[in-house]
Structure 1
Amino acid sequence: MILSLSEATSLAAEAPRFEAQYIPILFALGAMILVIAWLPFVLRKLPLSLPIVCVAIGFVLFSFPPFSAWAPHPEKTPKLVERATEMIVIVSLMGGGLKIERIVAWKSWNVTWRLLGIAMPLTILLVMLLGYHFLGLGLATALLLGGALAPTDPVLAGDVQIAHDENEQEAEAKFALTSEAGLNDAFAFPFIHLAIAIAAAGGLSGAVLTHWVLDDVLWKLGTGLVLGAGLGRAIGWIIYRMPAGTALSRTGDGFIALGATLLVYAVTEFAHGYGFLAVFVAGLTIRQSARGHDFNKRLHDFADESERLLMMLLLLLFGGMLAAGLLAPLGWKEATFAGVMLLVIRPLAGWISLIGVKRPPLELGIIAFFGIRGLGSVYYLSYGFNHAAFVQKTSLWATLGLIIAGSILMHGVLVTPALRLLHRHYHRLGIVETEEG
């Protein structure tokens, strides 16, 4: 991980203070890990989610000494924020791919294609228009914000994602949100690159648009897809089918999932493709290499545990950002924008994309509404800021912070009762015979 000179200087200045509090930090971290490992059992029947608790703990922790002196802010360490969120997103994408048993096809993934092809571009367009006309952002900045807010977050969407061994035909809402979150991070990337290109060129031109289509859309998406499928197939063969008793599945080591994640991502980035797309596709392909194999669950469980640990740490830091005054620059316009984004733009775009889908209306409503925004959006905004000059950075970080905090709270409170309601609705219609939730 490469840090800027200012980030390295800042971290070096904090070293003596960190050393003095090293043992208390270890105690606090160990206690929090144990508490958060236990919390899912407590929260299972409550209208709360693990992300809500993590952010709350982080906010309280960084509000008091000695931790208040270390309260983070994305503008202080922009490269560190980018790399940390990048890591958790790719781990989450591999876990998402390993969950899905359904073979990729046009008809069986119909809802996913609609969310990607209609809901996401419509979300970007509406955010751009609102940002341009209401917040007074420039074209490039409005597009960057639209691209950052478009994807459903693969990290924080865990509560609405399908379980490893859940019946995907019955839990269509969960499958749709899992597959959408797995793919739309990659499909949002071209819009981030277009925003960067416009900012660097000082405007949109034919040359900018041509390079964007050829490189950022066709080449990078194609490379991500091809390498993800190819490397996933090769890793699947090594895990399950390597001859002479040397198949990696015999080891029982779930950390193979982490190795596969890092390898696929790095190779694809070397080839200038979209590593996010490659990792998710590789996860799908590895799962398909031996459908029903017990080792699939071991791989998924390790990826899921790694994701939860990273999520906990980053959400604690996000709570620290809130304690450090991340939302201080907010005005009524930014607050209104955040509310419209969460309550109007995503639900409306999702609903439009699902018109004509023959599924229960309640199920379609849940799919449209639960477009959770989270750490993936932090990654995209920090990536844009680190690769081009954009204005109103402080205001945009505050706006994004409010949207993420609002999404964590609103979706976290509503997800349990919503899925229970859907479960009962399924039973009334005679659709499902599975366990609740």
Structure 2
Amino acid sequence: MTLALSTPDLYIITLTCAGLLIALVAWLPLALRQLPLSLPIVCILIGAALFLLPDIPLDPSPLVWPDVTERVTEFVVIIALMGAGLKLDRPFGWRRWGVTWRLLAITMPVGIGAITLLAGGLGLGWIAALLLAASLAPTDPVLAADVQVGPPRTGEEDEVRFGLTSEAGLNDGLAFPFVHLAIALAVSRASGEPWLGKWLGINVAWEIVAGVGGGWVIGRLFGWLTFHIPAETKLAKTGDGLIAIAATFVSYGVTEMLHCYGFLAVFVTALTLRASQRDHAFNVQMHDLTEQVERLAMMALLLLFGGALVSGLLAPLRAVDILLVLLVLLVVRPLSGWLGLLGLRATRAEKLTIAFFGIRGVGSFYYLAYGLNRVDLPQAERLWAIVGLAVLLSILLHGLTVTPAMRWLDRRHGRDPDTGKPVSAGEGSGDEPSARVSS
């Protein structure tokens, strides 16, 4: 008697792959903890291997799925922004957040200007160059997890981790206006309608102010529901971290309906929600669930990115495009970061680390998809190839260096890199501690 084996249908294959992905989400971060290798690198390699298999029916190129690309990357970014805001222990304040304001007010605009000039000078049109610059300038909140602060109340919040986390959370408030500027210039070129007044009044003033205000109001509301209503109906008593996902969706949805920056609103909502009861244990539960959802969505997206790479995403690249990407990662970000940090009370090692680890990632995909879905630019394939290469090289460059760099930094600060706990004076490196901003 022979047993006939039928070919499994797509649903069963998808279910099996989803189970394997979830298992990797739980196991890989532990396996990679002490290795000079990051989770995104492994995800891209797995995705590339899967899409090299014969008879794969899906073409994962963002050029084939422009709307899906925008929505999927949007989802991953807003979840990451909520997680970033929830894990920041440092109370909000102009002086306490000095490193953040420097990165936003100096590093970001200088980076956008430099990339625009380089891209325009190397053959891209100036509107395409501006859209590319706005897409590549922000530090990514998704792929920068290894250089961000630890979970709430763990004490893993030195100036480097805090600066990179807060920058990634807030830099959308400065990057998005430049995306809209590129769109406005493209529309004006085609129709002749004026653009400056609308851009300054709506895309800069209204969308930033309303995004911050809307995020604060929704954060206050969820903070009251979670921590301050009568004890028998207090959401914090449930231990259900899903409330953070609810706050993410409500904040983003409401502020987008008001035509303001939902990314900015979500991060402000997270900060306000955390501030409602900064030291409550429920913050850890909300953060942990948000991080799990973020990691699962990120891994799925990076599998598709790996597939897009082996399906020809980088084929339109020219030699000057490779040069441009190398200049962005190795020259523009480090120099603009160093310029922004001049005068900051921090050690040279901290400034160099912050300046170097300006990771490009999922946010860059979103901004480019958003722009190209609203204006027709003649070099869309080339723009996707440049951004794809920039994200790939950023993941490789920063992923291979982040573990040794952050472990070295921890030792300089007198912390055990594995436990995060202080080590005795005899075990430290003897270097001076980081300059602290008083709270």
What's the TM-score, normalizing by structure 2? 0.91
Over residues 211-253 of structure 1, what are the superposed CA-to-partner deviations in whole Å (9 max), with x where a residue is unaligned?
1110000000010010111110111001000125211111111
Measured in 2, the distance between the counterparts of 1:128 and 1:206 equals 23
1:200/1:389 contact within 8 Å kept: no
2:100/2:166 contact within 8 Å kept: yes
1:198/1:204 contact within 8 Å kept: no
- Mapping of 1:196-215 within 5 angstroms? 196-202=183-189, 207-215=194-202
1:64 aligns with 2:66: no
1:40 aligns with 2:13: no
Q: CA deviation at 1:39?
A: 1.2
Moved more, 206-215 or 249-258: 206-215
2:62 to 74, 77, 81: 74
Measured in 2, the distance between the counterparts of 1:407 and 1:147 equals 16
Q: CA deviation at 1:104?
A: 1.4
What is the match of residue 378 of structure 1?
A: 365
In structure 2, the CA distance between the partners of 1:394 and 1:340, relative to structure 1 (3 Å rule), is: same
Measured in 1, the distance between the counterparts of 2:130 and 2:24 equals 40
- Mapping of 1:179-218 within 5 angstroms? 179-202=166-189, 207-218=194-205
Measured in 2, the distance between the counterparts of 1:249 and 1:324 equals 47
Measured in 1, the distance between the counterparts of 2:335 and 2:296 equals 33
What is the match of residue 298 of structure 1?
A: 285
In structure 2, the CA distance between the partners of 1:214 and 1:204, relative to structure 1 (3 Å rule), is: farther
2:138/2:360 contact within 8 Å kept: yes
In structure 2, the CA distance between the partners of 1:246 and 1:234, relative to structure 1 (3 Å rule), is: same
The one-letter code sitting in structure 2 at the alignment partner of 1:70 is L
Q: CA deviation at 1:283?
A: 0.2
Q: CA deviation at 1:131?
A: 0.8
1:97/1:283 contact within 8 Å kept: yes
1:124/1:147 contact within 8 Å kept: yes
1:426 aligns with 2:413: yes
In structure 2, the CA distance between the partners of 1:179 and 1:204, relative to structure 1 (3 Å rule), is: farther
**Secondary structure of 2:245's match?**
helix
1:71/1:317 contact within 8 Å kept: no
1:416 aligns with 2:418: no
Structure 1, unmatched stretches of 5+, are: 1-17, 433-437
Over residues 38-70 of structure 1, what are the superposed CA-to-partner deviations in whole Å (9 max), with x where a residue is unaligned?
111111110000000001100111111233x31
Measured in 1, the distance between the counterparts of 2:296 and 2:382 equals 30
What is the match of residue 49 of structure 1?
A: 38
Q: CA deviation at 1:167?
A: 2.6
2:389 to 396, 402, 420: 402
The one-letter code sitting in structure 1 at the alignment partner of 2:146 is D
What is the match of residue 271 of structure 2?
A: 284
Structure 1 stretches of 4+ moved >4 Å:
203-206
Measured in 1, the distance between the counterparts of 2:261 and 2:13 equals 40
What is the match of residue 23 of structure 1?
A: 12
1:173/1:367 contact within 8 Å kept: yes
Alignment RMSD, CA only? 1.7
Q: CA deviation at 1:430?
A: 5.5
Moved more, 28-37 or 118-127: 28-37
Over residues 153-208 of structure 1, what are the superposed CA-to-partner deviations in whole Å (9 max), with x where a residue is unaligned?
0000000000122336x611000000000001232100000100000110898931
Q: CA deviation at 1:29?
A: 2.5
Over residues 72-114 of structure 1, what are the superposed CA-to-partner deviations in whole Å (9 max), with x where a residue is unaligned?
1011010000000000100000111101121211111111000
What is the match of residue 150 of structure 2?
A: 163
Aligned residues: 412
Measured in 2, the distance between the counterparts of 1:187 and 1:301 equals 28
Over residues 279-303 of structure 1, what are the superposed CA-to-partner deviations in whole Å (9 max), with x where a residue is unaligned?
0000000000001100010011111
1:108 to 96, 107, 110: 96
In structure 2, the CA distance between the partners of 1:145 and 1:337, relative to structure 1 (3 Å rule), is: same
1:123/1:346 contact within 8 Å kept: yes
- Mapping of 1:118-197 within 5 angstroms? 118-134=106-122, 136-164=123-151, 165-167=153-155, 171-197=158-184
2:245 to 258, 264, 267: 258
Measured in 1, the distance between the counterparts of 2:378 and 2:193 equals 24
**Secondary structure of 1:299's match?**
helix
The one-letter code sitting in structure 2 at the alignment partner of 1:425 is R
Q: CA deviation at 1:308?
A: 0.3
Moved more, 278-287 or 182-191: 182-191
Measured in 2, the distance between the counterparts of 1:396 and 1:295 equals 43
What is the match of residue 4 of structure 1?
A: none
**Secondary structure of 2:232's match?**
coil
What is the match of residue 14 of structure 1?
A: none
Measured in 1, the distance between the counterparts of 2:37 and 2:285 equals 27
